[in-house]
Amino acid sequence: MSSKEDVVIIGAGIGGLTLALSLHQAGIACRIYEAVPELRPLGVGINVLPHAARELAELGLLPELDKVGVRTRESIFFNEHGQFVFREAAGLAAGFDWPQYSIHRGDLQTVLFDAVKQRLGPDAVVCGQRCTGATQDGESITAHFVSPDGERLPDVRARLLVACDGVHSALRKQLYPQEGAPRYSGVNMWRGTAVWKPFLSEASMVRAGWLDVGKMVIYPIRNDVDGKGSQLINWVAEITDPNPAIRDWSRPGRLEDFLPAFEDWHFDWLDVPALIRSSDSILEYPMVDQDPLPTWTQGRLTLLGDAAHPMVPRGSNGAGQAIIDARYLAGQLKRRGLTEEALQDYDKVRVAATTQVVLTNRTNPPDAILREVYERTGGKRFEQLEPIVSQAELQAISDNYKKVAGYSPAALKARPSFL
Ligand SMILES: Cc1cc2nc3c(=O)[nH]c(=O)nc-3n(C[C@H](O)[C@H](O)[C@H](O)COP(=O)(O)OP(=O)(O)OC[C@H]3O[C@@H](n4cnc5c(N)ncnc54)[C@H](O)[C@@H]3O)c2cc1C
């Protein structure tokens, strides 16, 4: 037996939930099928840059995000000796019309999930249904499912199916059965959160050190978590390592595998080893991506978010590009109807745009600023930075990334809404 939907979305992650809200805004009926029996707020911190925040603003979600996230004010870079390298304003402070948020992934997912339940109804997300594949007959597409115990569940027929099923996407495997495992970048990451007193501007995103000797990304993701003004601070340690960690977002990590690289990072703006030691739990994950695909679409099936373009998390763009895919696709479906041609248009525009982001994340993401300083100083302390590398050069790296990822202030202001 099977039921019939207009659009079936596979996966209730950031991309799938944003797509459901956007389709609803466009007057298109949809339902999400999610593998896990219950959505739990997993993960640690992520950033939503102004181009993606704009989309969430157009969904009316900024008041809810403000209750749980931190509006980032600046992005600031230090070398592994704690010496200041580069600073630039972020979000509204940088002249964007939309803020940048640093937020717990679970909080962002909860804001989206609550809005889906409120606007589309409590049955809009069906949990405990893992999609195993889809078949097409020219008229419709049929999704096949199993329960968490592996029992076959009834099929669901739809006019279109959008696979938002993340980095282990079953539908991507169906489209590209020969594709190998995700590509390891040679860097492992350890992530955690700790309750700590505010540092620097109280809304600073810090990047420090370099991958060869140990790099950290540190930023607050929740304000006043204890009624005494402390924040929840998110940190990510990244170190070059020939052996990739296991690809499981919830896998615990061990202090001894990475803390030695940061043991002497006692800076006047933050005591990094003390922050790491006070963390509740530590997760490890390898930095992986996939070579960009030539197309994500086959007939009535397309991919979105990490299923389509997993990228190494070096430009704060994983969640953002998933959000933009969702909004762009909803706009196309609104204008062109639930047609294969609308999927083809989405494919053409978003494959090209995200291919650039995936490749630039490998070579020249914003943290390339730290690579320049590390290589030109040989990892040593400097007396003066300017003769070694100018602020203008460092600014150019940052500006280039904004252009590639689609969030320079002028371009973003000029671009019409997707919906
Ligand atoms: C548990 C978890 C923790 C994460 N933690 C972090 C983090 O700490 N930092 C970070 O930068 N990024 C993290 N990510 C990844 C981040 O959410 C994505 O890179 C980004 O937001 C793009 O979102 P997405 O919707 O494409 O994929 P995801 O957010 O990964 O969502 C995919 C969804 O699809 C579901 N799913 C998978 N396979 C199937 C299937 N066959 N059938 C039905 N449903 C399926 C998954 O359960 C998940 O809910 C995490 C992802 C997950 C799933």
Tell me the pLDDT tens digit for each residue of 201-220.
Answer: 999 999 999 999 999 999 99
Give the DSSP letter of residue 61: -
At residue 110, does pLDDT exceed 50? yes
Q: Residue 314 has what pLDDT?
A: 87
Tens-place pLDDT, residues 222-237: 999 999 999 999 999 9
The structure tokens 């803390």 sit at 259
Q: Which residues pair with 301 in a beta bridge?
A: 161, 298
Which uninterrupted H or E stretch holds 373? Answer: helix 368-377
For atom 20 of ligand 1, the residue with the nearest CA is 319
Q: Alpha-carbon torsion 326, 331, 336, 342, what sign?
A: negative
Ligand 1 pocket test, candidate residues 188, 236, 249, most atoms within 8 A of CB: 249
Is it the case that residue 311 has pLDDT exceeding 80? yes
Residue 250: pLDDT band (50, 70, 90) is: confident
Phi-psi region of 330 (alpha: psi -120 to 50; beta: other; left: phi over 0): alpha
* 182 ligand 1 Cβ < 6 A: no
| Residues 73, 68: Cα–Cα separation, whole Å | 16
Ligand 1 neighbourhood includes 306 CB (under 6 angstroms): yes
Per-residue model confidence (pLDDT) at position 2: 55
Better pLDDT: 304 or 180: 304
pLDDT per residue as tens digits for the range 193-202: 999 999 999 9
Task: Decide: 9 in ligand 1 pocket, CB within 6 A.
Answer: no
pLDDT of residue 3: 64
Q: Is the CB of 249 under 6 A from ligand 1?
A: yes
From residue 101, give the alpha-carbon distance in Å to each of 139, 190, 261.
42, 21, 29
CB atoms within 10 A of CB 36: 14
Which protein residue has the closest C-alpha to ligand 1 atom 30? 166
- pLDDT tens, residue by residue, 10-43: 999 999 999 999 999 999 999 999 999 999 888 8
Give the global pTM.
Answer: 0.96
H or E element, residue 76: strand 74-78
Mutate to test the pocket of ligand 1, among 34, 156, 323 (most ligand atoms within 8 A of CB): 34
For the chain, counts of helices (H) and of strands (E): 11, 17
- Indicate if ligand 1 lies below 6 Å from the C-beta of 107: no
pLDDT at 138 over 90: no
